[in-house]
Amino acid sequence: MENEAYELQKRVYISKEYIQLGDNRVSWSLQNRQDMMTHLTTNLIIAGSILGAVALGKSANEVLLLARANVENANLNGALNLSNLEEMIVGEDYRVERIDKQKGQDD
């Protein structure tokens, strides 16, 4: 079962440039909208997206891609609903990068 992986991966890293869950990482950017949201807002959108996706039993790749799509497409009126986000991530698996923990990654 895919949720078993979450028991082993207890940490999520949210940086200004990427979101990392275990050995998987996806880059994100606000493009020209940095002035519209604070880091607290973006971190809450990402964290909420991850929590919701994990609760729904999504795979690690889907969790990361949903969080990325949500934060990149949120605006002052709010974030997108799940069905819109799921449509946005179709075919986006190539965006998820596998991280080699031996290259300076700490747990």
Give 22-72 pLDDT, tens digit per residue: 889 999 998 877 677 888 989 999 999 999 999 999 999 999 999 999 999
Q: Considering the entire predicted model, what is its pTM?
A: 0.82
**What is the C-alpha separation between 21 and 61, in angstroms, rounded?**
9
Maximum mean pLDDT: which of 1-5, 35-39, 93-97: 93-97
Identity (one letter) of the amino acid at 55?
A
Phi, psi of 39, deg, nearest 5: -65, -30
- Which distant-in-sequence residues (6+ apart) come within 8 Å of 26 by Cβ? 18, 19, 64, 65, 67, 68, 95, 96, 97
* Residue 18 host element (H or E): strand 18-21
The set of residues, in sequence order, having a beta carbon less than 8 Å from that of 97 and lying 6+ positions away, is 24, 25, 26, 27
Interatomic CA distance for residues 66 and 44, integer angstroms: 14
Reply yes or no on whether the pLDDT at 1 is more than 50: no
- The pLDDT value recorded for residue 3 is 53
